[in-house]
Amino acid sequence: MISAPSKLLCGLLLSGISAAAPPIESRQSAATQVVRLASIENVAVRSNGQILATNMNSANLYTVDPVAKKSSTAVVVTGATGLSGIGEVSPDVFAVIGGKGIYKVDFTGASPKSTLIKQITGASNLNGLAVFNDDTVLVADAGKGSVYKFSISTGEYSEALKDPTMAPSGAIPFGIDGIKYSNGTVWYTNIFKNSFHKVSVDPETAKPTGSVTTLWTNLMGDDLCFGPNGKIYVATNSGGTVVEVDPAVGKPTAVARVSGSTSCAFGRTDADKNVIYVGGGQGVFAATIKI
């Protein structure tokens, strides 16, 4: 498993992209720091407005109060040495990647509880996670350049996607990183190939139903999220920004500056539904997006 600081450093070395904003259309503003936490890898937002944050070097799943600007450990995911991708599979129940294991973290009881569902024993380097339906997640293997379809209730899994655009590269090696699913389309980045892609898939099997479309090959992309306006937002890691992408056009527009941005998620309350929360090397940040 590659640590978040190493991931950022390797991104700078392998991509040739400086920490300055990339040469793309921009209407960005500086994000504000919500809390300082080391090397945040991924973020998700609960329905109560609390932010969940992972770190690839820690088994602690952090909770962040964006109003009080305080953080604490929500739960220690026993058996994991670090956490990466996270997604809500049913109300207040999250799937979390910990090493080669997929864990369920349940917030519906009196206190949060984590449970190992199953290890994907043949995995190389699991990183990104996308919710496919209320019992299934798609898990990106950055080391193998493939995507597993994984059942939360049974632990059954199989390889659903594999394509040269997902393949690892570089000294680590590390390929497909961020992944999200919506309405029959899987969107994903390949971090060290500086590329962003989409592919249509069967809504039952997650197998491809068409060829891969590449949106760009000149801008680093880490994880991504969907906005309330139908746009896609991509954290650019060493690019130091979050970019907005209109799915119909595919052209990125920088909308927030966050050094070492790794991931993003939008607020879920009336007060912050147009606020994007961004994970990064120095913690969790927030920026208001013009919807």
Q: What is the spatial distance between Cα 102 and Cα 120, in angstroms, rounded to a whole number?
A: 8
According to the model, what pLDDT value does residue 24 have? 57
pLDDT tens digit at each of 291 positions of the chain: 454 445 654 544 343 333 333 445 666 677 999 999 999 999 999 999 999 999 999 999 999 999 999 999 999 999 999 999 999 999 999 999 999 999 999 999 999 999 999 999 999 999 999 999 999 999 999 999 999 999 999 999 999 999 999 999 988 889 999 999 999 999 999 999 999 999 999 999 999 999 999 999 999 999 999 999 999 999 999 999 999 999 999 999 999 999 999 999 999 999 999 999 999 999 999 999 987
What CA–CA distances, in Å, run from 165 to 168, 188, 217?
9, 9, 10
β-bridge mates for residue 214, sequence order: 197
| DSSP classification of residue 36 | -
Q: What is the spatial distance between Cα 54 and Cα 279, in angstroms, rounded to a whole number?
A: 9
Q: What is the spatial distance between Cα 93 and Cα 105, in angstroms, rounded to a whole number?
A: 6
- Reference 54, options 111, 8, 106, 94; nearest CA is 94
pTM, full prediction: 0.92
CATH, domain 4-288, list 2.120.10.30, 3.40.190.10, 2.160.10.10, 1.10.3720.10 = 2.120.10.30
Are residues 283 and 260 in contact, defined by beta-carbon separation less than 8 angstroms? no
